[in-house]
Amino acid sequence: METAEFRDQDCQQLEQEWAHYNPPQQQVHPEWQNWIRRNANFIEREGQRGVNAVTGALAYMQRRRTTSNNPAHTGLAMTPQQIFSKQGLDKLEDLLELHGPQFYGVRFDKDEKTLTPNEARDASGLDTRTYNAAYAQLKAQGRVK
Protein backbone atom coordinates (compact mmCIF):
# COMPACT_ATOMS: atom_id res chain seq x y z
CA MET A 1 0.00 0.00 0.00
CA GLU A 2 2.87 2.35 0.83
CA THR A 3 4.43 1.84 -2.61
CA ALA A 4 1.12 2.50 -4.32
CA GLU A 5 0.70 5.73 -2.32
CA PHE A 6 4.21 6.89 -3.33
CA ARG A 7 3.48 6.12 -6.98
CA ASP A 8 0.21 8.05 -6.74
CA GLN A 9 2.08 11.05 -5.31
CA ASP A 10 4.62 10.74 -8.14
CA CYS A 11 1.79 10.82 -10.69
CA GLN A 12 0.25 13.88 -9.04
CA GLN A 13 3.60 15.69 -9.09
CA LEU A 14 4.14 14.82 -12.76
CA GLU A 15 0.61 16.01 -13.63
CA GLN A 16 1.26 19.32 -11.84
CA GLU A 17 4.57 19.72 -13.66
CA TRP A 18 2.89 18.96 -17.00
CA ALA A 19 0.17 21.54 -16.25
CA HIS A 20 2.85 24.09 -15.38
CA TYR A 21 4.69 23.68 -18.69
CA ASN A 22 1.55 23.11 -20.79
CA PRO A 23 -1.21 25.30 -19.37
CA PRO A 24 -4.69 24.59 -20.74
CA GLN A 25 -5.55 26.74 -23.75
CA GLN A 26 -8.60 28.90 -23.41
CA GLN A 27 -11.24 28.11 -26.02
CA VAL A 28 -12.52 30.97 -28.17
CA HIS A 29 -16.24 30.98 -28.83
CA PRO A 30 -16.83 30.12 -32.52
CA GLU A 31 -19.34 32.96 -32.99
CA TRP A 32 -16.75 35.39 -31.61
CA GLN A 33 -14.07 34.05 -33.97
CA ASN A 34 -16.47 34.51 -36.87
CA TRP A 35 -17.35 38.06 -35.74
CA ILE A 36 -13.67 39.05 -35.47
CA ARG A 37 -12.89 37.57 -38.91
CA ARG A 38 -15.84 39.29 -40.57
CA ASN A 39 -15.05 42.66 -38.94
CA ALA A 40 -11.29 42.56 -39.51
CA ASN A 41 -11.49 45.69 -41.69
CA PHE A 42 -12.75 47.71 -38.71
CA ILE A 43 -10.02 46.42 -36.38
CA GLU A 44 -7.28 46.97 -38.98
CA ARG A 45 -8.49 50.49 -39.81
CA GLU A 46 -9.07 51.67 -36.23
CA GLY A 47 -6.24 49.76 -34.55
CA GLN A 48 -6.03 50.05 -30.78
CA ARG A 49 -8.94 52.51 -30.66
CA GLY A 50 -11.10 49.89 -32.36
CA VAL A 51 -10.00 47.22 -29.88
CA ASN A 52 -10.78 49.63 -27.02
CA ALA A 53 -14.21 50.37 -28.49
CA VAL A 54 -15.06 46.66 -28.77
CA THR A 55 -13.75 45.99 -25.26
CA GLY A 56 -15.73 48.93 -23.85
CA ALA A 57 -18.93 47.87 -25.61
CA LEU A 58 -18.53 44.29 -24.35
CA ALA A 59 -17.96 45.59 -20.80
CA TYR A 60 -21.12 47.73 -21.08
CA MET A 61 -23.10 44.74 -22.31
CA GLN A 62 -21.99 42.64 -19.29
CA ARG A 63 -22.28 45.26 -16.53
CA ARG A 64 -25.33 45.12 -14.29
CA ARG A 65 -28.06 47.68 -14.66
CA THR A 66 -28.13 50.49 -12.13
CA THR A 67 -30.25 53.56 -11.54
CA SER A 68 -27.44 55.80 -12.84
CA ASN A 69 -27.75 57.50 -16.22
CA ASN A 70 -23.96 57.47 -16.63
CA PRO A 71 -23.02 54.77 -19.20
CA ALA A 72 -19.79 54.15 -17.28
CA HIS A 73 -21.87 52.88 -14.34
CA THR A 74 -24.73 51.06 -16.04
CA GLY A 75 -25.08 48.25 -18.52
CA LEU A 76 -27.26 45.67 -20.18
CA ALA A 77 -26.63 42.79 -17.73
CA MET A 78 -26.11 40.27 -20.52
CA THR A 79 -24.45 36.92 -19.90
CA PRO A 80 -21.61 35.70 -22.15
CA GLN A 81 -24.05 33.19 -23.66
CA GLN A 82 -26.37 36.05 -24.61
CA ILE A 83 -23.54 38.23 -25.93
CA PHE A 84 -22.09 35.53 -28.19
CA SER A 85 -25.44 34.77 -29.77
CA LYS A 86 -26.48 36.24 -33.14
CA GLN A 87 -28.69 38.80 -31.37
CA GLY A 88 -25.96 39.70 -28.87
CA LEU A 89 -23.35 40.30 -31.57
CA ASP A 90 -25.91 42.36 -33.51
CA LYS A 91 -26.35 44.46 -30.35
CA LEU A 92 -22.56 44.86 -30.13
CA GLU A 93 -22.54 46.18 -33.70
CA ASP A 94 -25.41 48.56 -32.90
CA LEU A 95 -23.51 49.92 -29.89
CA LEU A 96 -20.32 50.40 -31.92
CA GLU A 97 -22.17 52.07 -34.77
CA LEU A 98 -24.20 54.41 -32.56
CA HIS A 99 -21.76 55.21 -29.76
CA GLY A 100 -18.31 54.43 -31.19
CA PRO A 101 -17.73 57.96 -32.55
CA GLN A 102 -18.88 59.65 -29.33
CA PHE A 103 -17.09 57.50 -26.74
CA TYR A 104 -14.09 56.11 -28.65
CA GLY A 105 -13.61 58.24 -31.76
CA VAL A 106 -14.11 55.26 -34.09
CA ARG A 107 -16.38 54.69 -37.06
CA PHE A 108 -18.06 51.29 -37.28
CA ASP A 109 -20.02 50.43 -40.41
CA LYS A 110 -21.97 47.16 -40.55
CA ASP A 111 -21.67 47.18 -44.34
CA GLU A 112 -17.86 46.79 -44.16
CA LYS A 113 -18.06 43.16 -43.10
CA THR A 114 -16.31 40.63 -45.28
CA LEU A 115 -18.63 38.30 -47.11
CA THR A 116 -19.20 34.73 -46.03
CA PRO A 117 -18.52 32.12 -48.73
CA ASN A 118 -22.27 31.73 -49.31
CA GLU A 119 -22.75 35.50 -49.60
CA ALA A 120 -19.88 35.71 -52.09
CA ARG A 121 -21.37 32.85 -54.10
CA ASP A 122 -24.77 34.55 -54.16
CA ALA A 123 -23.22 37.88 -55.18
CA SER A 124 -21.32 36.18 -58.00
CA GLY A 125 -24.51 34.72 -59.47
CA LEU A 126 -22.85 31.30 -59.87
CA ASP A 127 -24.20 27.98 -58.70
CA THR A 128 -22.41 26.32 -55.76
CA ARG A 129 -20.44 23.80 -57.84
CA THR A 130 -19.13 26.42 -60.31
CA TYR A 131 -18.29 28.85 -57.50
CA ASN A 132 -16.37 26.20 -55.52
CA ALA A 133 -14.43 25.15 -58.64
CA ALA A 134 -13.50 28.77 -59.40
CA TYR A 135 -12.48 29.34 -55.78
CA ALA A 136 -10.31 26.21 -55.78
CA GLN A 137 -8.62 27.40 -58.97
CA LEU A 138 -7.91 30.85 -57.47
CA LYS A 139 -6.58 29.24 -54.31
CA ALA A 140 -4.27 26.98 -56.34
CA GLN A 141 -2.93 30.10 -58.08
CA GLY A 142 -2.31 31.75 -54.69
CA ARG A 143 -4.75 34.56 -55.38
CA VAL A 144 -6.94 33.84 -52.32
CA LYS A 145 -6.22 32.44 -48.85
The answer to the question of residue 14 being in a domain is: no
Task: Domain count for the chain, please give it.
Answer: 2
pLDDT of residue 55: 95
- Domain co-membership, 88 together with 37: yes
pLDDT in tens, 44-75: 999 999 999 999 999 999 998 777 777 677 88
The answer to the question of residue 104 being in a domain is: yes
pLDDT of residue 91: 96
pLDDT of residue 119: 87
pLDDT of residue 73: 76
pLDDT of residue 26: 77
Helix, strand, or coil (residue 26): coil
Task: Output the pTM of the full model.
Answer: 0.68
pLDDT of residue 117: 84
Task: Give the residue from 80, 99, 83, 79 showing the smallest Cα distance to 91.
Answer: 83
Task: Give the residue from 64, 81, 83 showing the smallest Cα distance to 73.
Answer: 64
pLDDT of residue 87: 95
pLDDT of residue 94: 96
Quote the CA–CA distance of 106 and 46 in Å, as a whole number.
7
The beta-carbon contacts of 102-105 under 8 Å, at least 24 apart in sequence, are 103/53, 103/56, 103/71, 104/49, 104/50, 104/52, 104/53, 104/56, 105/49
How many H helices and E strands in the chain? Answer: 8, 0
- Domain co-membership, 68 together with 102: yes
The answer to the question of residue 2 being in a domain is: no
- Domain co-membership, 39 together with 108: yes
Range of the domain at 65: 30-112
Residue 85's Cβ-count burial label (10 Å; 0-12, 13-18, 19+) is middle
- Domain co-membership, 79 together with 125: no
pLDDT of residue 22: 87
Q: Which stretches of the chain score pLDDT less than 70? A: 71
